Amino acid sequence: MQGTGVIDHFLEVFTRYIDSGFGLLGGEVAFIATTLIVIDVTLAALFWSWGADDDIIARLVRKTLFVGVFAWLISNWNSLARIIFESFAGLGLKASGTGFTAADLLRPGKVAQTGLDAGRPLLDSISGLMGYWSFFENFIQIACMFLAWALVLFAFFILAVQLFVTLIEFKLTTLAGFVLIPFGLFGKSAFMAERVLGNVISSGIKVLVLAVIIGIGSTLFSEFTAG
- In this predicted structure, what is the pLDDT of residue 3? 62
Weakest-pLDDT range from 5-19, 43-57, 94-108, 147-161: 43-57
**Taking Cα atoms as reference points, which of 86, 82, 89 lies closest to residue 177?**
82
Domain ranges of the chain: 5-226
Phi, psi of 92 (to 5 degrees): -65, -45
Amino acid at 129: L
Instruction: State percent of the chain over pLDDT 90.
Output: 5
Is the pLDDT assigned to residue 220 strictly greater than 70? yes
Residues found in the chain: 227
- In this predicted structure, what is the pLDDT of residue 134? 73
pLDDT tens, position by position, 79-127: 888 898 889 988 888 888 777 787 888 888 888 888 888 788 778 777 7
How many CA within 13 A on the CB side of residue 124? 7
pLDDT tens, position by position, 137-196: 777 888 888 888 888 888 888 988 999 999 999 999 999 888 888 888 877 788 888 888
Is the pLDDT assigned to residue 48 strictly greater than 80? no
